[in-house]
Structure formats: C-alpha cells, structure tokens
Amino acid sequence: MGSIKKNNTVHKNEVTGWGNYPASTSAIFESSTVHQLREYVLTQKHLTARGNGKSYGDSSLGAPLLSCLGLNNIIDFDKTNRTITCESGVLLAQILELTVPAGYFLPVVPGTQFITIGGAVACDVHGKNHFAQGSFSKHVTEMKLLLASGETMVCSRTVEPDLFWATCGGMGLTGFIWQVTFRVVPIESVYLHVENIFCNSLSELFHAFRENNSAEHKVAWIDCLSKKNKNYKGILTLARPNTLVELSAKKKLNLLKVRMKKTFRVPFYLPSWFLQWRLVQIFNRIKWLVQLRAKDSASIPFSDFFFPLDTILDWNKLYGRKGFLQYQFVLPTLFAEEGTQLILDEVFASNDKCLLAVLKQFGDCDENALLSFPLKGFTVSLDFKRTDTLFALLDKLDEVVLKLGGRIYLAKDARMNLTAMEKGYPKLQEFQNVVKKFNPTKKFSSAQAERIGYIK
Ligand SMILES: Cc1cc2nc3c(=O)[nH]c(=O)nc-3n(C[C@H](O)[C@H](O)[C@H](O)COP(=O)(O)OP(=O)(O)OC[C@H]3O[C@@H](n4cnc5c(N)ncnc54)[C@H](O)[C@@H]3O)c2cc1C
C-alpha cells in the first residue's frame, strides 16, 4: 500500500495482502481523528477495516478501505497496572520501542513486529508461546469500537461481552477497532537463551515438543522437501529469557537496549522461476548442517528469535508477481502428528512444493472466543508459490484437516470455501448473530467475507 501522510485522505491504490494475491484497486481512507473516520463511515455503504496489510490473503481487501494507520498514538503506559492503552494503528514495533527500555514486553507477538494493534486483535494473533500465554486477546482488557451506526462503544469481558468476544478474532466484521488496552509483562533483559533440538522424524519432533515443557517459547522448522524412509527432518527451537548471571559483561551493559538491526529491501518482484524448490532443497540441507555444527545454545536479542524475517523488508517479492499463499491449519493434539504426516505426504507427492514449513504448539483456549483460530493442539504453516494447480491441492488438504477436527487460519487465507469455514468454526452462527446486532447491514465487510459468504 502506498503511504498516505496527510490527515483525512482518500487515495485509490492497487492493494494486496502480504501474499500479493489477490489484488484489488480500492479507495483508502485514513485519518488521525476518530471524528473524521466516523464521518466517512456514515457516508459509506460498505467498508473494510485495514491495518498494515500483513495478513496474507484477502481479509483486509475490499472497497473502500478504512485504514487505521493514521490512529497511531500511544495514549497511556501504566506501569503500576502493567497496561498500555493505544490507538489501533500503532505497530507492535512502536510499542516495543517504548516498553522494552522500561523493562516490559508484549505477552504475545507474531512472526513480524510490523502489524497494528487493530490487526493483532482482529486476527487474535498467536506467537511461539501460545501453549503458555494464549493468543493476543487473552491480554486485552478493554476496547473502543467505532460501529457501523457511527456510535462508539466500549467493550470488555464484562461490558458488552458479546461484542468483545466477537471482535477478538472477528476479522474486522463487528466494527472498526479504535482503541485497545492490553497488558505487558516485565523483562530483565532483551536476551533470550535459545537451544536447538534436531529431530529425524515427525514423531521425534512431536515427542520433543511434549518433553520440553519448561521452555517459554517453542517453534519448529520442518524440511518437507526431503523425505527419507517416510520421515521428514525438523529442528525444534526452544527459548526462555536469559537470567542475568548467564549474560556476558558486554551484554550486561545494554540489558534493555532495543538493537535496531540493519534492514534490506527486495527492490523488485523477482521472476517466478527464481525460487525453485530444488534450490530451497539444497538450502535446507545446508541449514541443517550449519545449525548442527553451531553451538547447542546461545543468547540472542529477542528480535532475532521472534522476528527473523523482519530484516528483509518486502521478502514477499521473492515469490514473484503471481504471489504466494500460506496454508496454516491447526489440528487437535490427538490427531496432530498423524494429520501432519498425512498432509506433508500429500504435499510431497504433488507438484506444488512447500518452500517453508513451521510447526507450533497451541494450549488451552478461552471457551468464549467465537472466531479465534487457535484450538488446543498443533498448528502448521506451509508456504507455496501460487500456481494453477495449487488450489486443488489445498482443497484436498482441507478435507484432511476438517476430518480430523481442525481448521484453517483466516489471517492467511485467500481460497477457503464456506463448507470448510462452517465445519472448522463451530461457533460461526453465534458470531453471525453478534455481527447482525452491531453491523446489521454488513457495512463492515471484506473481500474474504464476501468470497466465503460467512456473514449473512
Ligand atoms: C512475516 C509474517 C509473520 C506472521 N506471523 C504470524 C504469527 O506468528 N502468528 C499470527 O497469528 N499471525 C502471523 N502473521 C499474520 C499477521 O500477524 C496477522 O494477519 C495480523 O492481523 C496482521 O495485522 P495488520 O495490522 O497487518 O492487519 P491487516 O492485515 O491489515 O488486517 C488483518 C485483519 O484485521 C482487520 N483489521 C485490521 N485493523 C482493524 C481495525 N482497526 N479494526 C477492525 N478490524 C481491523 C482487517 O479487516 C483484516 O480482517 C504473520 C504475518 C507475516 C507477514
């Protein structure tokens, strides 16, 4: 999305999500005052809320777009109660810049710090610590919304709870999130102790996840481009905050300094043939060998562990103009290993190769959540180049996921159908009822909601 600097601006731009598929040409309205946003809402028949466009598919596409990027003020940092109140267009990076030097961190962060607080709530994002800390909304105490009627409304677990629970993970369909209050957690330093566990099969990998219960963060990389005796190799990375005694004297000098890493830009879309799976296969083998030879454990700054891809801005252009899709599913614990094996085998046998696969563990989820993605079990994200045959493969994968009681993540989706949505999200009807109450004419919608047809 082109940047819009002026207050109260409407631009027409070609817009995409992070996957660069699909694209749409939309008017984008942005303002730094909720008063002007309200005026605009009242003049429009349909709108789509948009944060920083880091969801992969079409959830923040539509026409016109109501951007929250102009609402970028941090209103209060209450150290006594360990809460932040900010406007919805504030990026996680902006929060961390303020809180880390003061000794606080966000309880949940996704794989990039360049998302807005609005997007974090609307997709109810999860991190590498879901099994311990839940998803973002678990730490939200209160929100202010701008509704389709132009009214502003406060909601929390006790005030308008139906609106609160439908908004957490509600993909912007209940109204426009304007302000959010959420908890932060204390930290002693910016350093994490990380450790790698090398696994020669999925069963070793799942076993390692279960065995390592004391780690605060767990994430695994799977090499699904090479298979030996039906087995895929993987590396489980565990992390926990460093204790001060573990840190070198040099690190102790800057315990709470946010290190700004040098960033690189991919200047243009690479031709789609560039990212050949055979090239990635070789890269994977090298990665395995290099990591195997490296030290078993290390102390690294949080950004290297949580946001490794943020140093290469626009890395999505590596996939070429046709874009790419991330297929992220979750399976309940009981079927997670069996289902992951079935899915990786299906992908391995197809011509559509998965270039990056990541496995994470989910813990208990709040039973009040209506459309949040996590459920207790394991989640796998698979990155694919967009090809003419990919959607047929993903339809097959949907069947496996749904048969085993899982679901697909809307924040990554660009092709799911209504059946998959209805089966995967059993509280969909309750969600639809809340949408009918607060957004009765479907003024707040999105290209994704229209395509799937999941709000009535
Ligand atoms: C490199 C990378 C890594 C990622 N890793 C993870 C991860 O580990 N875990 C995870 O959960 N996600 C992950 N994501 C996905 C990303 O965190 C979510 O899609 C997030 O919601 C994007 O936020 P955004 O501000 O860019 O919102 P957008 O993409 O602009 O919008 C996402 C959704 O939120 C709605 N929305 C945005 N702002 C508002 C608002 N103010 N009011 C109402 N609705 C609003 C939109 O309508 C849309 O439905 C990753 C994405 C990338 C690019």
Judgement on whether residues 182 and 208 belong to the same structural domain of the protein? no
CB of 126 shorter than 6 A to ligand 1: yes
152: in domain = yes
307: in domain = yes
In the block, tokens 């999505």 appear at 316
Judgement on whether residues 322 and 417 belong to the same structural domain of the protein? yes
What's phi and psi for 384, nearest 5 deg? -130, 145
Judgement on whether residues 304 and 346 belong to the same structural domain of the protein? yes
Q: CA–CA separation, 265 vs 18, rounded Å?
A: 15
CB of 88 shorter than 6 A to ligand 1: yes
Q: CA–CA separation, 28 vs 15, rounded Å?
A: 9
DSSP classification of residue 81: T
- Burial label for 405, CB within 10 Å (0-12, 13-18, 19+), is middle
Atom of ligand 1 nearest to the CA of 18: 53
CATH number for position 143: 3.30.465.10
Judgement on whether residues 221 and 254 belong to the same structural domain of the protein? yes
Domain count, the chain: 2
- Domain termination residue (choose one: 187, 221, 238): 187
What's phi and psi for 348, nearest 5 deg? -60, -35
Judgement on whether residues 375 and 262 belong to the same structural domain of the protein? yes
What distance in angstroms lies between residue 173's CA and the mean position of ligand 1's atoms?
A: 14
In the block, tokens 């998959």 appear at 420
CB of 123 shorter than 6 A to ligand 1: yes
What distance in angstroms lies between residue 354's CA and the mean position of ligand 1's atoms?
A: 22
Judgement on whether residues 210 and 346 belong to the same structural domain of the protein? yes
* Residue 43: per-residue pLDDT: 96
Q: CA–CA separation, 65 vs 15, rounded Å?
A: 10
Q: CA–CA separation, 321 vs 318, rounded Å?
A: 9
What distance in angstroms lies between residue 60's CA and the mean position of ligand 1's atoms?
A: 8
Judgement on whether residues 146 and 175 belong to the same structural domain of the protein? yes
CA angle 185, 369, 432 (to 5 degrees): 140
The strand pairing partners of 216, in sequence order, are none
Judgement on whether residues 238 and 89 belong to the same structural domain of the protein? no
CB of 48 shorter than 6 A to ligand 1: yes
33: in domain = no
Q: CA–CA separation, 163 vs 145, rounded Å?
A: 9
Q: Which amino acid, 383?
A: D
- Domain termination residue (choose one: 187, 205, 220): 187
β-pairing verdict for 377-385 and 356-362: antiparallel
* Residue 293: per-residue pLDDT: 81
CB of 22 shorter than 6 A to ligand 1: no
23: in domain = no
Counting runs of H as helices and runs of E as strands, what totals does the chain give?
14, 21
Distances in Å between the alpha carbon of 105 and those of 71, 126, 219, 223?
Answer: 22, 15, 19, 31
443: in domain = no
For each of the chain's 456 residues, which pLDDT tens digit applies?
333 344 567 777 899 999 999 999 999 999 999 999 999 999 999 999 999 999 999 999 998 999 999 999 999 999 999 999 999 999 999 999 999 999 999 999 999 999 999 999 999 999 999 999 999 999 999 999 999 999 999 999 999 999 999 999 999 999 999 999 999 999 999 999 999 999 999 999 999 999 998 899 999 999 999 999 999 999 999 999 999 999 999 999 999 998 777 888 888 898 878 888 888 999 899 989 888 888 778 999 999 999 999 999 999 999 999 999 999 999 999 999 999 999 999 999 999 999 999 999 999 999 999 999 999 999 999 999 999 999 999 999 999 999 999 999 999 999 999 999 999 999 999 999 999 999 999 999 999 999 999 998
CA pseudo-torsion sign 362, 367, 372, 375: positive
What distance in angstroms lies between residue 251's CA and the mean position of ligand 1's atoms?
A: 33
44: in domain = no
What's phi and psi for 165, nearest 5 deg? -70, -25
Instruction: Count other Cβ atoms within 10 Å, centred on residue 389.
Output: 10
Q: Domain residues for 103?
A: 74-187
Element (H, E) at 27: strand 23-30
Give DSSP secondary structure letters for 120-167. HHHTT---TTHHHH--GGGGEEEEEEE-TTS-EEEEESSSSHHHHHHH
Atom of ligand 1 nearest to the CA of 120: 21
Judgement on whether residues 283 and 210 belong to the same structural domain of the protein? yes
* Residue 6: per-residue pLDDT: 47
What's phi and psi for 231, nearest 5 deg? -105, 145
Decide: 129 and 216 in contact? Cβ < 8 Å. yes
Judgement on whether residues 312 and 341 belong to the same structural domain of the protein? yes
Q: Report the 3 state secondary structure along 383-445.
A: EEECCCCHHHHHHHHHHHHHHCCCEECHHHCCCCCHHHHHHHCCCHHHHHHHHHHHCCCCCEC
Q: Which residues are CB-contacts of 149 (< 8 A; sequence separation ≥ 6)?
A: none
Judgement on whether residues 307 and 289 belong to the same structural domain of the protein? yes
* Residue 292: per-residue pLDDT: 83
Judgement on whether residues 335 and 380 belong to the same structural domain of the protein? yes
Decide: 100 and 84 in contact? Cβ < 8 Å. no
Ligand 1, residues 28, 50, 171: which to mutate, most atoms within 8 A of Cβ?
50
What distance in angstroms lies between residue 167's CA and the mean position of ligand 1's atoms?
A: 13
Q: CA–CA separation, 240 vs 302, rounded Å?
A: 10
Q: CA–CA separation, 269 vs 264, rounded Å?
A: 14
Nearest CA to ligand 1 atom 13: 110
- Domain termination residue (choose one: 187, 221, 243): 187
What distance in angstroms lies between residue 11's CA and the mean position of ligand 1's atoms?
A: 21
What distance in angstroms lies between residue 412's CA and the mean position of ligand 1's atoms?
A: 9
CATH number for position 290: 3.40.462
19: in domain = no
Distances in Å between the alpha carbon of 60 and those of 12, 118, 391, 447?
Answer: 15, 11, 20, 7
455: in domain = no
